[in-house]
Amino acid sequence: MKCIDFDKAFSLFAMKWFKDHGKEYKNYDEMEAAMPDVYASFLDTPADFLAHFKPGEYFEQWDDAKVLIDWMEDYFKQRVPVPDMLLNRIASLGEPAEKRLYALLQKERTPQEARMTAVSLLGELGSTLPMQLYISWQLRREPEDELCDAACEALAQMGEEAIDPMLAFLADANDAGKEALCSVLSYYPETAEKVLPELLRLIRKPDANVAVLAGYLGRLGDERALETLIDLALDEDLTYLNYIELRSAIEQLGGDAPEREFDESDPEYEAMSRLQMPWQKQGRQEEDDAAEERPLDGDYLQ
């Protein structure tokens, strides 16, 4: 099937539109604001490059999920922008599309962007068909893996139905996989008996993502994490942002976080200080100005 570049076609349509209707707009801001209406007109206008089909209805001619999903894959392979209209048509097919999208996920040689899109479409369909596949991806995953991250988000969307299958494979996952699965399981306090020990081990690793793992522990809601969190908050090598997240988790669990002092020698603290909002600076300046103008009372003079 031919992979038509609808983005390019719309650009040409919009250029002609604004050439014909330019006098209706005072400036570029008004033209930009009109863009959604121009796009809607593009979708509803019969096009020569589509044999006079309307772009918004072009893919409605096909109802074969295999044809449409193979077509989507070709778009990715040929590096042509995938039309939203094609994706919408695939999603509208329901169960037939679900099965073909699941088959696409298992094709390791297909472009990763195509598999990422399949994960997204299956999420739109509310599908739990790829649950076990998504879990299996986490078992030997790399710490940085966009496809595995998308699958993990999909597991979270599946809700309680995914809890027991994730718990069943938690012990078999590598550390990156354990962290990913725990990110979902931490939403469910009832999983604490298995999830808490894993999170406490992971957060004590030398290369631990302390801020993220502290958030999971706070969300899990098990007070048994307090001792470890407080101990980490007292670490003299602790960075500012890690301390902030640890403190938040400790307070979320009902504990009292130890007070710490940070200064510009901590790059994170210095960076956060530079991000101070203008109105905060203005507020302090107004307070200083008011203090200068305030009359001295008798007690101060004494």
More confident residue, 170 or 275: 170
For the four alpha carbons of 290, 295, 296 and 298, in that order, the dihedral sign comes to negative
pLDDT of residue 267: 60
Residue 94 belongs to domain spanning: 48-129
180 in any annotated domain: no
Average pLDDT, stretch 187-206?
A: 97
7 in any annotated domain: no
141 in any annotated domain: no
Using the 3D structure, point to which of 129, 148, 176 is the last residue of a domain.
129
The CATH number linked to 265 is 1.25.10.10
83 in any annotated domain: yes
More confident residue, 233 or 22: 233
Please, which pLDDT band fits residue 297 given cuts at 50, 70 and 90?
A: very low
Please, which pLDDT band fits residue 265 given cuts at 50, 70 and 90?
A: low
Please, which pLDDT band fits residue 260 given cuts at 50, 70 and 90?
A: confident
Mean confidence (pLDDT) of the chain = 89
Using the 3D structure, point to which of 129, 156, 190 is the last residue of a domain.
129
163 in any annotated domain: no
pLDDT of residue 26: 83
265 in any annotated domain: yes
115 in any annotated domain: yes
Residue 278 has pLDDT above 70, yes or no: no
Average pLDDT, stretch 106-127?
A: 95
pLDDT tens for 13-69 read: 999 998 898 888 888 888 889 999 999 999 999 999 999 999 999 999 999 999 999
More confident residue, 260 or 92: 92
215 in any annotated domain: yes
pLDDT of residue 276: 57
- Spatial CA neighbour of 169 closest among 218, 208, 134: 134
Query: What's the number of domains the chain is made of?
Result: 2
